[in-house]
Structures are given as C-alpha cells and as structure tokens.
Amino acid sequence: MANNKKWDIVIIGGGLAGLTIALHLSNNNCKVCLIEKNEYPHHKVCGEYVSNEVLPYLQSLGIDPLSVGAKKISKFEITDTKGIPVNANLPLGGFGLSRYAFDNLLYQSLKNKATIVFDTVEKVDFNEKQFTILTQRKDVYKADFVVGSFGKRSNIDSFLKRDFMKQNSSWLAVKNHFEYDFPDDTVALHNFKGGYCGLSKTETNAVNACYLTTFKSFKKYGEIENFQKQELSKNPFLEKFFNEAKPIFKKPLGAINEYH
Ligand SMILES: Cc1cc2nc3c(=O)[nH]c(=O)nc-3n(C[C@H](O)[C@H](O)[C@H](O)COP(=O)(O)OP(=O)(O)OC[C@H]3O[C@@H](n4cnc5c(N)ncnc54)[C@H](O)[C@@H]3O)c2cc1C
C-alpha cells in the first residue's frame, strides 16, 4: 500500500544512532518517521559496554539505562596475548547493557512520539527539494530531510554504490552471552593473535563475550569452536572463560565488519 504522507524527517535505520536522533527530533516537535528492518527487541553483535560519556545526552532524551538493570562498570582489565594483565580504575566509568535491552529501551520511549515502520528501505531519490524513499514493501515516503543511520554494509551502501562495498571486509565479529562468574563492575579486554575479546556483564547477569578478529586469522581454523579453542585460548584468561562459561544462545551471532 502506497504511503503518501509527507514527513519533516525520515530516518533510515533504528540502531543507536537512528533511535536517538528520532527521539531528539521528536522531542523538538519534528514530524519523524523511522524505518527499521528488524522488529524490537533483537540481539546484535556488540561489546555492550557503553562509556558514561553518553549519559548526560541520554538523560536529556529521558533515557536511563540503569532503569532496565544496566550494570555500573568502573574497573578495567586488559591482558596481552600471553595473558599478562594490567588492571585500572575507569574514572569516568560506563555501563553494561545488551543491545537487546538498549535499543528496545530507546524504541519503547520513541514509539508514541514518532511513526515507526518495520520495513527495508531500498531506494532514496532527491528532486524538487524533496526526498522520496521507497521500501521493500513498495511503500513510498516523502520528506524534507533524510537521515541515513543504517550502520555499515547495508543494502543502501550498495544502492549508493559506495566503493567499500566492492571489497570483502577483512574483519569478523562474534558474540554470545554466557553464564559465568564475573564481576558486575568490570570490563575486560583480552588480546589474542589477530584480535581481542571483550567481556562484561549485562542487565540479565549474562556475560557478553564479543570478539573482533581478522578473517586472515580466522580462516586457518574454519569454524568458531576451533578458533576459540585453538587460538583465543592461547590467552589463559580466554582459555578459562571458554572452558567454564556456559553459552546462552544456541549459536553465536556473527557479523562482517568494517571496524576502524
Ligand atoms: C564488534 C563490535 C563491537 C562493538 N562494541 C561496542 C561497545 O562495546 N561499545 C560501544 O559503545 N560501541 C561498540 N561498537 C560500536 C557500536 O556497535 C556502533 O557504534 C553502533 O551500533 C552504531 O550505531 P548505528 O545506529 O550507527 O548502527 P547500527 O546499530 O548498526 O544500526 C543500523 C540499523 O539500520 C538498520 N538498517 C540497515 N539497513 C536498513 C535498511 N535498508 N532499511 C531499514 N533499516 C536498515 C539495521 O537493521 C540496524 O538496526 C561495536 C561495534 C562492533 C562492530
């Protein structure tokens, strides 16, 4: 069904950027339509540790991560590939919150303030001072402004013929949630050859383990289990973690990234 409504702003993509922009603009009386391809809540590959740097801004939007159980984090541990640790306090600190909960918290706050559509944007055209947005369901949206907050390697990047889409990404990210005895107030980064793995607790008490690695390192092992056992576990902290921690998702989530 064609949608001929006209919006002040259409936002493409409802991740952290799109949701916060939509909240900010809706709170300032703009007529906003946000188009996101996946319904909330949904899990996402992410380290799920957020610096407190963003708290004042979130508060200005009426968002409090602690209200949904985010863990307060004030300590940092980093180990080198051999597992030699350095520990420090984090003066500014941060919080541990899954993207499942974080994106959903923003969505719940936005849903009565803006129009939210679950669909995939396929095309964006601009002429006569107006944007026209076409979705997979063949709906058409018109707007004065469009915000492209569709993350990395979206179909929109292909539509825009962005050069980086011609090349394969050289990075792979993997995450799972685990049952594991881990302090609430700590974020850890454990290095291994070709990447690093972050550990921190989320609102459910699950430990999020998310690692980023080069395809070059990964492809020698071919599959995630082997890679974790044979490469990540050369770091004794990660060896202990992957031996003892009980995975919560049946399958880890993976993503191909352009991460700089
Ligand atoms: C492995 C990894 C770990 C990270 N860990 C951390 C961390 O611990 N702490 C931290 O602060 N940051 C972390 N980041 C960075 C953080 O994830 C990003 O900064 C953040 O997700 C960017 O938000 P975004 O809204 O721009 O993109 P995204 O969160 O990727 O959102 C983009 C949205 O657009 C939607 N979309 C895409 N195409 C379309 C389309 N055509 N139509 C409709 N919807 C569309 C997608 O479904 C998605 O919901 C990490 C990143 C990676 C890759």
Closest CA to 169 of 252, 259, 254: 259
Q: What is the pLDDT of residues 101-117, one digit of tens each?
A: 999 999 999 999 999 99
Residue found under tokens 């957020």: 50
The residues pairing with 148 across neighbouring beta strands, listed in sequence order, are 12
Predicted pLDDT of residue 4: 62
Asked if residue 104 has its Cβ within 6 Å of ligand 1, the reply is: no
Q: How many helices (H) and strands (E) does the chain have?
A: 7, 15
pLDDT at 49: 98
Q: How far is the CA of 30 from the centre of ligand 1 (A)?
A: 24
The mean pLDDT values, 10 residues at a time, for the chain of 260 residues are: 75 98 97 98 97 98 98 98 97 98 98 97 93 96 97 92 86 96 98 97 98 92 93 98 96 69
Q: Which tokens is 154 given?
A: 């979206």
Q: Look at residue 260 in the predicted model and tell me its pLDDT.
A: 37
pLDDT at 3: 55
Question: Which among 10, 11, 12, 16 is the best mutation to test ligand 1's pocket, defined by most ligand atoms within 8 Å of the CB?
Answer: 16
The finding on whether 197 has its CB within 6 A of some atom of ligand 1 is no
Write down all domains in the chain, each with its CATH number in brackets.
6-46+102-166 (3.50.50.60), 65-95+168-257 (3.30.9.100)
- DSSP H helices, the chain, are 16-27, 55-60, 99-110, 155-159, 215-219, 224-230, 236-244
Tell me, what's the pLDDT at 167?
A: 84
Instruction: Collect all residues with Cβ–Cβ distance below 8 Å to 87 and sequence separation of at least 6.
Output: 75, 76, 77
State residue 2's pLDDT score.
47
